[in-house]
């Protein structure tokens, strides 16, 4: 029997050392106490724990609580924080939990895995990262009954919650909304930075109760301020904090009192000189502290971080870490440098290192600095930065030294932090006197200092009045009141209203802030008119994207010059330039590709880039290097698509991009990658489109053997674990430097349910009845696992059983037979799936044209009419719900299916129901039905019921699951 007492064993099995080493890692007292609180009383409103005490372990608590099956346990955990690097850190933490459940090393993880793993599901816990960009497959969770941890930013998770997911198609948005907005715990880290999102999520769930499923729970976290819910008038928020047990704990107590001496240094600057003088001063102070230490330098903007780094990189071993970098680049850097900066590093072989960073290291980064140089910032930001200093309480000369550097020209109008930055500096200056900066200043000899240990800071900030807290935190943007009509508007996804209700005000408050733009660099695109086809062959994924403010992207593309105020705060923005801007020089590139998915891309002018876009640009335009965003660079950017893990389904292009990627590590690896090209060249000459894989696999194994830890090794390992296929081009692509083919992982992957024509991942046709029976069985399984009411389960099952009835249209059958009318006529049974690859849209068009099936017509329309006829007199199920679920099973009918009039109507005879005339396919009652069902089941509850049917359909299509009729 699993109990709270087993949590320590679970925690150790996930995060502890190897059993042979005899090391053990137990949770801190506050972490165990949090689990007991969740079990006994439910989740608290907020978690207020000093930095350095492992707040990310809230994920372990949530997973273990789910295994216990307590009342407040939830199936999905969303960890929200507006720091891209910390999104990645939390993602890696979640992956450790998932890996421990996938391969348990003890009884606790074995029991938790068994309890979480669904019926005939090989995955106990799924892990997803949302940090911008286009995903390889838009369905990021295969099953609605699967337990999952999702890490992401406010924009990525918040937009999905409100049915307006950035980078998500209209038809996929209900699935994302359902998975975020039902049966979930939404943990918002550093909630004082996301108060608008906190308020909106609470109001959303108050206004829309979902009577058929467990509602989401919102939990705020902070190490610097108390942010709680105010939904219950007259009730103080329930906060979870550390206790005396933590202060007495050997490790936690040491971290709470770790020696940190805070000094103030003021640099004489002017508005014109601060962008050069301040970085030079910070670099000089870091240079003095560097011998024998790991020194952190934290700036407020990406440009200043880059300036400090450039001043230090030639004299010291230095690394630049910002959130404005691609995940694969960040992974490469951390694979090299993280062992030297982590809390658990081997200090017996300590080497001097300078880590230059931005706000991205403030929250959750599990690094330990010996000394810190930081630009002045609001109090909450300084507390977080100090949390990276001397985390394990080392002593010694210079260890724990922190210097806050302030430019004398800094005023109330700071472009990043506003007046809170100056207010914090003045507040600190009343505690200790700042030292004037001189080039000879030795930071280890500074006399006035302030105790900056976590315990001391906690006591110091606890004495602040509400007015002082507000001044040091900065103004909170106005948050508009959420109304029911907002929810009704957002629930309408297909077609969405025009004009639509924007969501940004509810995610960030009334500001000028906008969601970032995801930029992707690709090599060998050739002429612009070919970009879409080439990118469609290997769609962008989050690992290769760089998230940037829209203003910074437009300035860069138009050649205006860098935006020196751009920071790592996701919700900062400056006025973006438009086509009216005159630069006196041509733009870097006249067109970029706005990409939203296969078959959904367009060439646009640089000034037409919008917030939330994913854009693809040629690699030779520059703008990025191995450390991230570098707008003044014109050097070609490494095409990182081959280094993306793609949720365990990597694809390697056989071409120069792979050689360049391998060269990042060594010339030997590049030479091995060239061998793949040589094999492909020979096989192409022999006209072998699908050559023997063995010669390629031998090269891949040799590359994996020589590749160090990092993205390339991960991709090669994942690829070799899946019996990869080698697929070569039958003819060379025109223009550019194309690849000769790809080496692709062989996995059952989710099919795309957006097409009007059935398809599956295997090249075989699937019968209609066997397919619908399988989908019905899966839908029932999902619905039962989610604990839905019996009548709802029966309704969902019936909808799944009839969802594709409209494919009985003779023209649709001809289309499924690839346009072969004779084959369709003599077929023993109607088809559900054609066997045509989902990516082969040209084949779809040819088949539809040959069949004469009207362009734009949806088979769901006829399916819904047939379902309605079958439901006559059946009172055991909810008829309107069944009709809606059938009509919406490809994401349309929210609230209306595309109203296409059949120009050449035909009669479709179905069993004993008689003929159906395809001239009558527009259901004008659907909008009213949709509204009524939203009221009955809740907006997110109805979306969940749709999701059950749709994911069951996708699951069966991906795996070609069928249930044959019994004789």
What pLDDT does 192 receive? 75
| Closest to 557 in 3D by CA, of 609, 513, 522 | 609
What pLDDT does 236 receive? 81
Label the pairing between strands 546-548 and 353-357. unpaired
Label residue 61 by pLDDT band (50, 70, 90): very high
Segment (H or E) for 617:
strand 614-618
Is the pLDDT reported for residue 227 higher than 50?
A: no
* 703 plus 733 within the same structural domain: yes
State the average pLDDT over residues 666-686.
91
What pLDDT does 689 receive? 61
What pLDDT does 23 receive? 73
Q: Does any domain span residue 787?
A: yes
Could you give phi then psi for residue 184, rounded to 5 degrees? -135, 155
* 271 plus 200 within the same structural domain: no
What pLDDT does 159 receive? 93
Alpha-carbon gap, residue 217 to 184, rounded angstroms: 6
| Residue 158 near residue 216, CB atoms below 8 Å | no
What pLDDT does 335 receive? 85
Is the pLDDT reported for residue 136 higher than 60?
A: no
Alpha-carbon gap, residue 278 to 290, rounded angstroms: 18
Side-chain-side CA neighbours of residue 694 (13 Å): 1
Is the pLDDT reported for residue 580 higher than 60?
A: no
Alpha-carbon gap, residue 96 to 101, rounded angstroms: 9
| Residue for token pair 């993602």 | 91
* 528 plus 577 within the same structural domain: yes
| Residue for token pair 């969501």 | 503
| Closest to 720 in 3D by CA, of 738, 737, 703 | 703
What pLDDT does 168 receive? 81
* 636 plus 658 within the same structural domain: no
Label residue 655 by pLDDT band (50, 70, 90): very high
Q: Does any domain span residue 788?
A: yes
State the average pLDDT over residues 109-113.
97
What pLDDT does 228 receive? 42
What pLDDT does 917 receive? 93
Q: What is the pLDDT of residues 3-23, one digit of tens each?
A: 999 999 999 999 986 444 457
What pLDDT does 21 receive? 46
- pTM higher than 0.85, yes or no? no
Q: What is the pLDDT of residues 802-830, one digit of tens each?
A: 999 999 999 999 999 999 999 999 999 99
What pLDDT does 522 receive? 95
In order, the DSSP letters of 214-264 are PPPEEEEEESSS------STT-PPPEEE--HHHHHSHHHHHHHT---EEEE
* Structure-block tokens of residue 46: 């907020």
Query: End of a domain among 217, 241, 265?
Result: 241
| Residue 189 near residue 221, CB atoms below 8 Å | yes
Is the pLDDT reported for residue 65 higher than 80?
A: yes
What pLDDT does 395 receive? 60
Alpha-carbon gap, residue 151 to 137, rounded angstroms: 17
Is the pLDDT reported for residue 402 higher than 70?
A: yes
* Structure-block tokens of residue 855: 């362009």
Q: Does any domain span residue 967?
A: no
Mean pLDDT of the chain: 88
Work out the percent of the chain whose per-residue pLDDT is above 70.
89
* 260 plus 354 within the same structural domain: yes
Is the pLDDT reported for residue 454 higher than 60?
A: yes
Distance of CA 310 to the CA centre of its chain: 31
Query: End of a domain among 585, 608, 643?
Result: 643
* Structure-block tokens of residue 223: 């190490």
Alpha-carbon gap, residue 79 to 220, rounded angstroms: 10
* 267 plus 384 within the same structural domain: yes
What pLDDT does 359 receive? 85
* 214 plus 281 within the same structural domain: no
Where would I find the H helices in 103-240? 107-116, 154-161, 173-181, 195-207
Q: Does any domain span residue 229?
A: yes
* 519 plus 623 within the same structural domain: yes
Q: What is the CATH number of the domain that holds 397?
A: 3.40.50.300
What pLDDT does 415 receive? 87
Q: Does any domain span residue 492?
A: no
**Which domain does 737 fall in, by range?**
651-744
| Residue for token pair 């103080």 | 236
Q: What is the pLDDT of residues 170-217, one digit of tens each?
A: 899 999 999 999 999 999 988 877 889 999 999 999 999 778 899 999
Label residue 223 by pLDDT band (50, 70, 90): low
Sheet holding 46-48, edge to edge: 126-130, 148-152, 76-80, 184-188, 217-222, 46-48, 239-241
Q: Does any domain span residue 21?
A: no
Q: Does any domain span residue 491?
A: no
Is the pLDDT reported for residue 942 higher than 50?
A: yes
Higher pLDDT, 400 or 579: 400
Q: What is the pLDDT of residues 491-501, one digit of tens each?
A: 999 999 998 99
Is the pLDDT reported for residue 351 higher than 70?
A: yes
ω into residue 543 within 30 of 0, thus cis?
no
Using the 8-state DSSP alphabet, how is residue 269 labeled?
A: -
How many residues would you count in the chain?
967
Using the 8-state DSSP alphabet, how is residue 602 labeled?
A: E
ω into residue 495 within 30 of 0, thus cis?
yes
3-state helix, strand, coil in the chain (%, to 5): 45, 15, 45
| Closest to 628 in 3D by CA, of 156, 302, 152 | 302
Q: Does any domain span residue 750?
A: no
Among 135-139, 152-156, 356-360, 922-926, the least confident range: 135-139
| One-letter-per-residue 3-state SS of 618-681 | EHHHCCEECCEECCCCCCCCCCCHHHCCCCCCCEEEECHHHHHHHHCCCHHHHHHHHHHHHHHH
Among 99-103, 338-342, 892-896, the least confident range: 338-342
* 408 plus 291 within the same structural domain: yes
State the average pLDDT over residues 337-361.
85
* Structure-block tokens of residue 640: 């990182």
Label residue 769 by pLDDT band (50, 70, 90): very high
Q: What is the pLDDT of residues 695-747, one digit of tens each?
A: 999 999 999 999 998 899 989 998 998 888 888 876 555 445 568 888 888 65
Reduce the DSSP state of residue 389 to 3 states and report it. Answer: strand
Query: End of a domain among 451, 473, 495?
Result: 473
* Structure-block tokens of residue 496: 């969405």
Burial of 582 (0-12, 13-18, 19+ CB in 10 A): exposed
* 367 plus 400 within the same structural domain: yes
Label residue 562 by pLDDT band (50, 70, 90): confident
Sheet holding 517-522, edge to edge: 546-548, 517-522, 614-618, 592-597, 600-604
Work out the percent of the chain whose per-residue pLDDT is above 90.
61
Higher pLDDT, 566 or 637: 637
* Structure-block tokens of residue 137: 């497959």
* Structure-block tokens of residue 669: 């690896």
User: How many separate domains does the chain show?
Assistant: 5
Is the pLDDT reported for residue 464 higher than 60?
A: yes
* The Cα angle at residue 388 between residues 263 and 469, in degrees rounded to 5: 65
**Distances 727 to 674, 689, 690 between C-alpha atoms, Å:** 17, 6, 5
| One-letter-per-residue 3-state SS of 543-592 | HHCEEECHHHHHHHHHCCCCCCCCCCCCCCCCCCCCCCCCCCCCCCCCCE
Label residue 434 by pLDDT band (50, 70, 90): very high
Label the pairing between strands 628-629 and 614-618. unpaired
* 861 plus 725 within the same structural domain: no
* Structure-block tokens of residue 622: 């520059």
* 599 plus 728 within the same structural domain: no
What pLDDT does 349 receive? 75
């Amino acid at each position: 029997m699993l109990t709270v007492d087993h949590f320590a064993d679970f925690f150790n099995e996930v995060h502890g050392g190897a059993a042979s080493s005899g090391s053990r890692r137990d949770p801190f007292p506050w972490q165990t106490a949090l689990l007991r609180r969740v079990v006994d009383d439910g989740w608290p409103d907020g978690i207020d724990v000093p930095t350095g005490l492992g707040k990310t372990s809230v994920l372990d608590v949530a997973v273990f609580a789910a295994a216990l099956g307590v009342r407040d346990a939830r199936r999905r955990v969303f960890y929200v924080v507006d720091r891209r690097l910390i999104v990645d850190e939390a993602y890696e933490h979640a992956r450790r939990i998932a890996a421990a459940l996938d391969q348990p090393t003890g009884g606790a993880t074995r029991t938790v895995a068994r309890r979480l793993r669904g019926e005939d599901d090989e995955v106990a816990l799924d892990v997803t990262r949302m940090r911008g960009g286009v995903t390889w497959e838009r369905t990021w969770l295969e099953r609605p009954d699967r337990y999952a941890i999702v890490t992401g930013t406010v924009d990525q998770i918040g937009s999905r919650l409100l049915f307006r997911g950035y980078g998500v198609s209209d038809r996929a948005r209900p699935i994302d909304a359902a998975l975020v907005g039902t049966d979930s715990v939404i943990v918002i880290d550093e909630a004082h930075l996301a108060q608008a999102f906190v308020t909106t999520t609470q109001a959303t769930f108050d206004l829309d109760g979902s009577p058929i499923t467990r509602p989401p729970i919102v939990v705020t976290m902070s190490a610097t301020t108390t942010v709680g819910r105010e939904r219950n008038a007259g009730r103080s928020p329930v906060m979870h904090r550390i206790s005396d047990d933590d202060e007495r704990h050997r490790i936690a107590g040491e971290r709470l009192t770790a020696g940190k001496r805070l000094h103030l240094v003021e640099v004489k600057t002017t508005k014109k000189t601060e962008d050069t003088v301040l970085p030079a001063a910070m670099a000089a102070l870091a240079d003095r502290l560097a011998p024998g230490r790991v020194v952190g330098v934290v700036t407020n903007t990406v440009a200043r971080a880059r300036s400090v780094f450039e001043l230090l990189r030639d004299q010291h071993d230095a690394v630049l870490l910002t959130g404005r970098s691609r995940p694969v680049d960040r992974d490469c850097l951390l694979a090299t440098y993280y062992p030297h900066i982590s809390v658990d590093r081997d200090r017996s072989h300590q080497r001097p290192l300078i880590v230059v960073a931005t706000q991205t290291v403030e929250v959750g980064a599990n690094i330990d600095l010996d000394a810190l140089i930081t630009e002045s910032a609001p109090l909450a930001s300084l507390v977080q930065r100090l949390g990276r200093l001397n985390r394990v309480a080392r002593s010694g000369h210079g260890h724990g030294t922190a210097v806050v550097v302030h430019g004398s020209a800094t005023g109330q109008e700071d472009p990043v932090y506003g007046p809170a930055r100056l207010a914090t500096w003045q507040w600190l200056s009343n505690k200790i006197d700042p030292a004037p900066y001189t080039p000879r200043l030795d930071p280890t000899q500074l006399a006035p200092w302030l105790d900056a240990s976590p315990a001391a800071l906690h006591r110091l900030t606890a004495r602040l009045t509400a007015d002082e807290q507000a001044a040091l935190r900065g103004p909170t943007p106005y948050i508009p009141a959420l109304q029911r009509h907002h929810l009704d508007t957002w629930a309408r996804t297909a077609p969405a209203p025009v004009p639509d209700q924007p969501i940004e005000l509810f995610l960030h408050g009334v500001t000028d802030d906008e969601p970032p733009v995801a930029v992707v660099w690709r090599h060998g695109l050739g002429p612009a008119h070919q970009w879409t086809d080439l990118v469609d062959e290997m769609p962008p994924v989050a690992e290769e994207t760089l998230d940037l403010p829209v203003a910074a992207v437009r300035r860069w593309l138009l050649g205006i010059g860098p935006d020196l105020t751009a920071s790592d705060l996701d919700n900062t923005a400056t006025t973006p330039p438009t086509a009216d801007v005159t630069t006196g020089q041509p733009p870097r590139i006249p067109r970029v590709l706005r990409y939203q998915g296969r078959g959904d891309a367009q060439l646009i002018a640089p000034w037409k880039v919008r917030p939330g876009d994913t854009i693809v640009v040629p690699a030779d335009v520059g703008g990025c290097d191995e450390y991230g965003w570098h707008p003044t660079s014109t050097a070609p950017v490494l095409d990182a698509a081959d280094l993306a893990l793609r949720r365990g389904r990597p694809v390697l292009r056989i071409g120069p991009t792979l050689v360049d990627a391998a060269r990042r590590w060594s010339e030997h690896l590049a030479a091995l990658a060239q061998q793949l090209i040589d094999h492909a060249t020979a096989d192409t000459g022999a006209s072998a489109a699908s050559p023997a894989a063995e010669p390629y696999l031998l090269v891949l194994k040799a590359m994996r053997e020589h590749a160090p830890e990092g993205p390339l090794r991960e991709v090669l390992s994942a690829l070799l674990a899946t019996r990869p296929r080698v697929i070569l081009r039958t003819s060379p692509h025109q223009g550019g430097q194309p690849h000769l083919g790809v080496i692709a992982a062989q996995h059952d992957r989710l099919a795309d349910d957006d097409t009007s024509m059935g398809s599956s991942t295997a090249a075989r046709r699937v019968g209609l009845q066997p397919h619908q029976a399988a989908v019905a069985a899966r839908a029932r399984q999902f619905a039962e696992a989610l604990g839905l009411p019996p009548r709802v389960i029966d309704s969902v099952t019936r909808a799944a059983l009839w969802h594709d009835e409209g494919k009985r249209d003779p023209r649709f059958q001809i289309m499924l037979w690839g346009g072969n009318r004779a084959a369709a006529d003599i077929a023993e049974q109607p088809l559900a799936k054609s066997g045509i690859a989902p990516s082969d849209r040209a084949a779809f068009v040819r088949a539809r044209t040959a069949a004469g099936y009207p362009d734009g017509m949806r088979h769901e329309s006829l399916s819904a009419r047939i379902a309605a006829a079958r439901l006559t007199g059946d009172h055991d199920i909810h008829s309107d719900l069944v009709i809606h679920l059938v009509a919406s099973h490809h994401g349309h009918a929210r609230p209306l299916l595309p109203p296409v009039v059949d120009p050449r109507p035909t009669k479709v005879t179905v069993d004993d129901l008689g003929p159906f005339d395809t001239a009558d396919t527009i259901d004008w009652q659907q909008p009213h039905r949709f509204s009524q069902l939203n009221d009955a089941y809740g907006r997110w509850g109805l979306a969940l019921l749709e999701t059950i049917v749709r994911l069951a359909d996708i699951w069966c299509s991906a795996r070609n699951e069928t249930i044959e009729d019994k004789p």
